[in-house]
């Protein structure tokens, strides 16, 4: 993304996703109306609509339901999905024009797909264990765009994921209502954009009134 994404902004977008469901019937019915009702799918759709990420990377695609939400939420962006199990992917997701499937192990894929980045969004949804998600974060954080977000499913699933989430540094927020085992988002900013000792939300609160003055609004 070209401009900063704050945890406050994400909270607003996600709150909006609780209030209404604007998804097209194609998404609502991907795997049967009831199962696609998962609240985090609508949140993904609203995040993509609001932030318009140019490049999204999904680690762990399975049937492609979340990938389809990233893709249709922002048809101008590109979605790349990595999975080692191609047979599960729904044929109708394969046909989505802005979705690309990469058959590989998620960490091993990092070098091969780096040239498609930098990534505005990385969605970590492969196997939810400490070592795997830690290795994925290490592999893909250097590939993040300046103002990107990292999205995690199942952050409270078992001890390993709880430990991973508690150790993850930076500006992050958990949205427990979105998924049975927790859902989390971390925002990434370029280090040089922040004055020393100031967190992103505080910086944004200080900065935004002056930005409006600069804009003449």
Binding site residues, ligand SAM, CB under 6 A: 58, 60-63, 65-66, 82-85, 88, 105-106, 125-127, 132
Shortest spacing between CB 214 and ligand SAM, in angstroms: 40
Shortest Å distance, C-beta 131 to ligand SAM: 10
Identify which of residues 120 and 154 has a Cβ nearer to ligand SAM in the complex.
Answer: 154
Tokens coding 80: 């790349």
Q: CA-CA distances (angstroms) from residue 97 to 50, 67, 75, 76, 80?
A: 20, 12, 8, 10, 11
- Measured from the Cβ of residue 142, the count of other Cβ atoms closer than 10 Å reads 10
To ligand SAM, the closest distance from the beta carbon of 85 in angstroms equals 4
Angle at 26 between CA 25 and CA 31, to 5 degrees: 105
CA distance 23 to 28: 6
- 60: closest CA among 81, 45, 43? 81
Q: Which residue is nearest to ligand SAM (CB)?
A: 60
What residue ranges in 48-109 does DSSP mark as E strands?
55-59, 78-83, 99-103
Task: Give the nearer residue to ligand SAM in terms of CB position, either 127 or 206.
Answer: 127
CB of 108 to ligand SAM, least distance (A): 8
Nearer to ligand SAM, 50 or 61 (CB): 61
Q: How far apart are CA 142 and CA 5, in angstroms?
A: 18
Question: Which residue, 41 or 147, is less far from ligand SAM as judged by CB?
Answer: 41
In angstroms, what is the minimal distance from the CB of 32 to ligand SAM? Answer: 13
Beta carbon of residue 50, minimum distance to ligand SAM (angstroms, whole number): 19
Cβ proximity to ligand SAM, 8 vs 36, nearer residue: 36
Lookup: tokens for 30:
């991907």
Comparison of 46 and 83: residue with beta carbon closer to ligand SAM: 83
Phi, psi of 172 (to 5 degrees): -145, 155
From the list 18, 81, 14, the residue with the least C-alpha distance to 51 is 14
């Amino acid at each position: 993304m070209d401009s900063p994404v704050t945890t406050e902004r994400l909270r607003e977008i996600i709150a909006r996703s609780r209030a209404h469901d604007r998804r097209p019937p194609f998404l609502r019915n991907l795997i049967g109306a009831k199962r696609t009702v998962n609240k985090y799918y609508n949140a993904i759709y609203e995040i993509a609509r609001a932030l318009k990420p140019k490049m999204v990377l999904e680690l762990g695609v399975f049937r492609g339901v979340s990938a389809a939400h990233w893709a249709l939420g922002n048809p101008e962006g590109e979605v790349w999905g990595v999975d080692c199990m191609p047979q599960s992917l729904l044929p109708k997701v394969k046909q989505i024009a802005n979705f690309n499937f990469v058959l590989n192990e998620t960490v091993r894929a990092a070098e091969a797909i780096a040239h498609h980045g930098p990534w505005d969004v990385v969605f970590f949804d492969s196997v939810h264990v400490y070592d795997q998600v830690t290795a994925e974060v290490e592999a893909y954080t250097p590939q993040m765009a300046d103002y990107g977000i990292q999205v995690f499913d199942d952050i409270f699933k078992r001890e390993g994921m709880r430990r991973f989430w508690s150790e993850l540094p930076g500006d992050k927020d958990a949205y427990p209502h979105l998924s049975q085992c927790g859902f989390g988002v971390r925002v990434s900013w370029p280090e040089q954009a922040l004055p020393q000792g100031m967190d992103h939300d505080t910086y944004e609160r200080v900065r935004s009134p002056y930005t409006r003055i600069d804009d003449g609004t």
